[in-house]
A and B are shown apart, each in its own frame.
Chain A
């Protein structure tokens, strides 16, 4: 049908800085930057040691409730540790684990995705069959299984999450590479006699990097939820390190007797971080890579 659809032009010129672009998620990005800032300067910002408490001052409520004080603005937990300080150091755990795990998953997935898509043949078959199989395992269950084998530590959790999530990367990147392979500039490079390695490195990789960034942002939220869930189940970053998921698991016991601040505050932190990452990822997806809209 030759129905004429009105052409809507983006009123913002392409020279505008990216934060002026239409629909740029200002609040989510501010939240993420704030969490990153807190994570970096946790030592300076935290009023107390996050790992040392005193049983004499356990279960203190937040300052605005009766019995609370501004010394422990968000209260104390079951061993008397300052909740605010633990939240601040928890930001560091979430950021470090989240970002490095996404980097690990992204590097493995992008590399194998490019090789699988570009080289085809048996390399493609092997990678894709492994991908299919691993995707059949629910991510959290797979992560629990791996954590049960190698035992929980911060480094192990990062490796486990990278191992669990690279398959999603590989599948999307492979699809992109398959269509890139048909494009003129790649064919020209082949005709010009460039080696496969050079083509993958110089022509394919730069063209899938947009998708990789979008995926990374979307994956950040997923990885953080998984990390928090592992902590919550007791196979995440081991105590006494303050991870938000672990704080909620510890706080759960106090929930029925009214110590709500132990679960609510870390919960809000996780929620804000994950929502922000997802909103940013959604925006990037539409803005950077229209092909990924179906994701």
Chain B
């Protein structure tokens, strides 16, 4: 058990290291770091200053050392556009992203789990087919297309919902649904396949042999087992959602982290782009680690294995 956790932690640290190296190298080697990291229109003296400050004339490993030192100090650089530290900007936008992700996650579970169960209990029935189409669309349709169609229908045609911005509950509905659909599809598929696997197991057969009512067989014996992987995925996806909402937040002008990334692109504000990518990647590595550890604590089978 301890060994298992130690190994997981080790892998995660390695991942974080590789992540930093990846980002560092892509910036220094592929592009021209000066043009990326120095404000457009800066004077030659400013450029020279920053070049020295970042140590761009020094060997790569030394530059990497600087890069990591400032990362650990919580310094992700200064936004060219907003003229505030990137980290401050990030935390300013984070609550909006969290709110959107939480609502989208709730929607995705509310849709995904019951429809996945229904599809598994009645394989090849109407709900299974309907669910398959819903999932295929959710996984195939680009989010900006779903978002724009929703705006066209609910804002332009019906005039019920505001097309952009944040504020009330009404502002949340369309972006949350657009973001949640994709994840609802993923959660539905996983619930269905995991439920099918569990329903074919011997202990479900034994539960039926015991003469338990079908509601108890499905609701107690099958569901608890089937939901373990779904909840795991949902936990990871909650963090993923915060970091992939760039399209949705752009379409609906939702002031979250995705929107920040979009602004970073349009204003050529490279420190913002880099900061969002670093924090996002680190967050996902960490949540994967957390989920692995929790899994080991909760699921007795893994506990035994290690």
When the two chains form their complex, are residues B152 and A233 in contact, meaning their CB atoms are under 8 A apart?
no
Asked if residues B247 and A137 are in contact (CB atoms below 8 Å), the reply is no
Cβ–Cβ contact B265 & A133, under 8 A? no
Knowing A134-B22, A149-B30, the reply to whether A141 touches B277 (Cβ < 8 A) is: yes
Q: How far is the CA of A225 from the CA of B11 in the complex (A)?
A: 31
B284 interface neighbour in A137, A145, A228, A267, Cβ under 8 Å: A137
Contact B265 A137 (CB under 8 A): no
CB of A271 within 8 A of CB of B264, answer no
Q: How far is the CA of A146 from the CA of B27 in the complex (A)?
A: 9
| Residue-wise interface mask of B (146-163) relative to A, using a CB-CB cutoff of 8 A (1 in contact, 0 not) | 001101100110000001
Chain B residues, Cβ within 8 Å of A248:
144-145, 148
Q: How far is the CB of A14 from chain B (nearest CB, A)?
A: 25
B140 engages A221 (CB within 8 Å) = yes
Of the candidates A149, A225, A232, A270, the one whose C-beta lies within 8 Å of that of B36 is A149
Interface-centre pick from A130, A133, A249 (highest chain B CB count, 10 A):
A133
Asked if A263 is at the interface (CB within 8 A of a chain B CB), the reply is: yes
A47-99 at interface with B (beta carbon < 8 Å): none
Contact: B156 with A141, CB < 8 Å? no
| B143 surroundings in chain A (CB, below 8 A) | 229
- Name the contact of B148 in the complex, choosing from A138, A263, A278 (C-beta under 8 A): A263
Point out the residue from B15, B145, B151, B285 that lies within 8 Å of A271, measured CB to CB: B145
Contact A145 B273 (CB under 8 A): yes
Chain B interface residue count, CB cutoff 8 Å, equals 51
For residue B266, CB closer than 8 A to chain A, the reply is yes
The stretch from A100-108, A178-186, A200-208, A252-260 touching chain B is A252-260
A221 to B140, CA, bound (A): 7
Taking the complex as formed, is A154 at the interface, i.e. its CB lies under 8 A from any CB of chain B? no
A136 & B288 in contact (Cβ 8 Å cutoff): yes
**Number of interface residues, chain A, beta carbon within 8 A:** 46
Q: A129-B14, A255-B148, A260-B156 are in contact. Are A138 and B142 (CB under 8 A)?
A: no
Residues of chain A within 8 A of B89, CB atoms compared: none
Chain A residues with CB under 8 Å of chain B are 129-130, 132-134, 136-138, 140-142, 144-151, 221, 225, 228-229, 232-235, 245, 248-249, 252, 255-256, 258, 260, 263-264, 267, 270-271, 274-275, 278-279, 282, 294
In the complex, besides A136-B284, A248-B148, A271-B142, 18 extra interface pairs with C-beta distance below 8 angstroms are A129-B14, A129-B15, A133-B18, A134-B22, A137-B19, A137-B281, A137-B284, A140-B246, A140-B247, A141-B261, A144-B265, A145-B273, A145-B274, A146-B30, A148-B273, A229-B143, A245-B142, A256-B156
- Cross-chain pairs A/B with CB under 8 angstroms, 27 sampled: A130-B22, A132-B15, A133-B19, A136-B15, A136-B288, A137-B277, A138-B284, A141-B243, A141-B244, A141-B261, A142-B277, A144-B246, A144-B265, A145-B273, A146-B30, A151-B31, A228-B142, A229-B143, A233-B247, A233-B265, A234-B266, A248-B145, A255-B148, A255-B151, A256-B155, A275-B137, A275-B140
Q: Sort A-B residue pairs by CB-CB distance and give the 10 closest, nearest first.
A: A149-B31, A133-B18, A267-B145, A138-B244, A145-B277, A136-B284, A133-B15, A274-B140, A148-B273, A137-B281
